[in-house]
Amino acid sequence: MNSGARLYPWTLTQARRIMQDTERLPHALLLAGPRGLGKAEFAAYMAQVLSCDHPDRATPLSCGACQNCRLLAAGTHPDIQWVGPAEEKKTITIDQIRALAQSLYLRPYIGQRKIIVISPAEMMNINAANGLLKLLEEPPPDSLLILVSSDPMRLPATVRSRCQRIKFDQPARSEALSWLRSVEGFPGDQAEPLLDLAGGAPLRALTLQQDGFLAVRGELLGDIETLGTGNADPVSCAARWKSRGARRCLEWLHGGVIDLIKISMAPGGTMLVNSDSGERLHVLKKRLDLKQLFRFLEAVSDSTNLLDGPADELLLLEDVLIRWSRLARQK
C-alpha cells in the first residue's frame, strides 16, 4: 500500500505550511482533494520529512542519509505504518484499526513520533471508522495519524471534524500541462485532451496516458453513437465495456453525459471533459432530451456507486447501455 514519497510542484505550498511548525502538529491530518493530485505520495513524503533527523526546511526535503531516512527507504521503519484495504478487499476493517491502536500506544522505537497513514480512508467500514474515532478522541502521545481521502464526505462527520484538513486542489491548467509535457515519453499533443478527461488532475492524466485511454475513449464514444442509431446491441456492447474495465467506462460515460448536458444548456462553448470531441458530441446531442439526460446521469452515478458493492458488473453495464439506447433513439 505504500506509495513512493513525492512532492509535486502543486503540493509544495502544503509541504511548506506543515514544515513551518512541526512542533505543533495536530494529532490527525486529513489530506483531502480529488484523485490524481498525489495525496498518498504526499503522505509518504510527510512520513519521511517528519521522521528525518536533519530535514532541510527550505526545500523542504528529508536528508536521505540519517537512520530514519535509511529505514524508510528500505520500507522497514518501525514507527511508520500504512493501512489500506487488504488485497482483493474493498474495505478497511475494525481488526486493522485495533491492531493499529495497540501499536500506537507503544512508545516510538527510534523516531520522535509514530506515523500512521490510512489510505484511502473512505474505505474504512463503519466499525473501523468508529474504532478510529476512539483513537481520535484520546490520541496516543507522540503519534500522528494521516488520513488520505479523495472522497472525504464518505467519512463520518465525527471523524472529519477531529482531523485538521489539508486541502489539495487541481493546479492551474498551464502548470499541469507543462508538468505533463516534462514527463519523459509523454506525447505532448495528448496533454490537453488527457488533462481534460482527467478533470484537471495531472497524475490521473498520466495514468490515462499509460493505460492508452484515448484509444479506449474513441471506442466508447463510437459505441455510444452506434447504440443511439440502433446499429449496435447494448448487451454485447456491455460485454466489451466490461472487458475494458467497468469502472473507467462508467466514469467516462458520466463525464460524457455531463458534456452533453453542458452543450444543451450552453451551446456556445464551455469547457468539455471530452474537449477534443466537441463536434461529435454536438451531433449526438441533437437526438437527446435535456430532462432525460439528467435522469440518465443519475442512473450512471447510481450504477458507478454500486460497483463498490457485490453487484454484477455486466448486469450494471447492460442496464445502463439499454437505458442509453432507448433514450438516444426516442427523438
Rule CB under 5 A: which of 87-126 touch Zn ion? none
By CB under 5 A, residue 49 contacts Zn ion: no
C-alpha cell at position 12: 509544495
Among 11, 14, 62, 93, binds Zn ion (CB under 5 A): 62
- What nine digits make up the cell of 313? 458488473
Select 47 or 136, whichever has its Cβ closest to Zn ion: 47
63 touches Zn ion (CB under 5 A): yes
CB-based contacts of 43, cutoff 8 Å, min separation 6: 3, 31, 117, 119, 146, 148
Residue 155 interacts with Zn ion (CB under 5 A)? no
The verdict on 31 binding Zn ion (CB under 5 A) reads no
Binding status of residue 61 toward Zn ion by CB under 5 A: no
Measured distance between the N- and C-terminal CA atoms of the chain, rounded to whole angstroms: 49
If binding is defined by CB under 5 A, does position 69 make contact with Zn ion?
A: yes
Is 52 an interacting residue with respect to Zn ion (CB under 5 A)? Answer: yes
State the minimum distance, in angstroms, from the CB of residue 62 to Zn ion.
5
Min dist CB 72 to Zn ion, Å, is 8
Binding-site size, Zn ion (CB under 5 A): 5
Q: Is 48 in the site for Zn ion (CB under 5 A)?
A: no
Nearest distance from C-beta of residue 70 to Zn ion, angstroms: 8
Choice between 69 and 147, CB closer to Zn ion: 69
Q: Single out the segment in contact with Zn ion by CB under 5 A; choices: 65-73, 119-127, 130-138, 167-175.
A: 65-73
What is the binding site for Zn ion (CB under 5 A)?
52, 62-63, 66, 69
